[in-house]
Structure formats: C-alpha cells, structure tokens
Amino acid sequence: MRIDVLGVGFDNLTLDEALEKASEIRGGYVVTPNPEIVWLARENEDLRLALCEASLVLPDGIGIAYGAKILGRPLKSRVPGIEFATALIARLASENKKVFLFGAKPGVAELAAERLKEKYPGLIICGTADGYFKDDAPIIAAINEAKPDFLLVCLGAPKQEIWMREHAGKLQAGLMAGLGGVLDVYAGIVERAPEAWSRSGFEWLYRLIKQPSRYKRMMKLPLFMFKVIGERIRGK
C-alpha cells in the first residue's frame, strides 16, 4: 500500500528497506518526487502516469513527509534521492557491478565517473552520456550495449520521469532512477548542503541561498502545503 499525497502514491519505506526493495527490481525504475514534482503532476498527465507506474516512489523532500503527516498518513521517513543513489552505488561497488551515468551538461557525467571510481574502487562505470541529445536511439543503443545494473537518469523533472516510463521496455538495465542534479553533486560542480541542514530538512533553503534563481521553483512549496492543509480540512 502506498501513501497518497495529493494524488501521488509513495512507498512507505526507510532507506534500508528501499535498498532491499531495489535489489529485487529488474527492468523497472525509481522516482523520487519532491513537492514541486507532485504539484507538476497535477497538471502533467504524462508525469502523473510515470510516477504511478514506477517500481519505487521515494519521498525526496521534507515537504512530502510533512504533507503526509498533516494528512494523517505519516511516512516512516523521507528518502532523498541522492542518499538512495549513493548507498546503492556503494553496495554495487562491493559486488563489482556496473553503473551507467546519463544526463547533465557535456563532460559532467565523465567527471562524476572519475570521482565515483576514486571513492568506490570496485565500481564499474560502464558508460556515460550527457543530457543534451535530440535522438533517443543512440542513447538506448549505448545503454543496451553496456547492460548496466544501475542506470542514473539525470535529466531533471519531468523529463527524466517521462523518459524512463517511455523507454523502460526497450532498455537492458537492471534498475533506473531519476535523480535530477545528482551528477552535478558527484562531479563536485554543485555542493550539497551540510549535514546539519540536510538532517533538519532545510536542504531546500540552503540550495535556495546558494542559487537564488531557484525561487520560482520554490514557490510551488507553499502552494503544495496550502493544498495539503485544505485536503485535511475537507477530510480527504
């Protein structure tokens, strides 16, 4: 049973439980919606379907955890996409498994690959591709030739979620996950919030301070919370 938050069902799992579940999935994909993505899904049917049909739906943002609690359907914990990906990569490295990095600007995936291999010596990076492409066919061919155990799809929402849903049946990959700007963090281009900010749920504020241009995206958060409160008042 998934926990419904404004029409998006979230798997009620801890990080460790999510990792165990991920190890059982073959050919599916993981999404990690935050309030902004949930709000977009109300207007974008392709995104809504991509979220609903995902093998795993993990609550990335603290706003999702608060929203579920306000609705009287609390989640065990939030599971940030970057923490899920990093823990899974560490596990795959210990098993000498293969990872493919797809997305971000040209050169970012390659830099992320170098840093990840330094940190996880057993990890096999079996391919990289940037997110600036016009034709899906070469990307699909490269992924299928590499046959990764884990494919990171970092195209940003809603493009990455829709792309995974559209192409899941064509790809020879153990598991895919839509992970936004994770490659920028792995490459060292973008600094993740200090642990204290992340632990307290204010990573979004740290990112906004560092990137003021994000303010338009952040405006979705109060809209999301007002809608959640309205749903609770109406008893939905």
119-159 tens-digit pLDDT: 999 999 999 999 999 999 999 999 999 999 999 999 999 99
Which tens digit of pLDDT belongs to each residue from 41-90?
A: 999 999 999 999 999 999 998 899 999 999 999 999 999 999 999 999 99
pLDDT at 236: 64
Render pLDDT for 189-205 as a digit per residue (tens, 0 to 9).
988 767 776 666 667 66
pTM: 0.92
Compute the mean pLDDT over every residue in the chain, rounded to the nearest whole number.
Answer: 92
What does the DSSP assignment read for 144-167? HHH--SEEEEES-TTHHHHHHHHH
Going by pLDDT thresholds of 50, 70 and 90, the confidence category of residue 220 is: confident
- Determine whether 54 is exposed, middle or buried from the number of CB atoms within 10 Å of its CB (0-12, 13-18, 19+): buried
Contact between residue 187 and residue 75 where contact means Cβ atoms under 8 Å apart: no
Q: Are 229 and 72 in contact (CB under 8 A)?
A: no
Beta strands in 80-169 (DSSP E): 98-103, 124-129, 150-154
Range of the domain at 28: 2-233
Quote the number of domains for the chain: 1
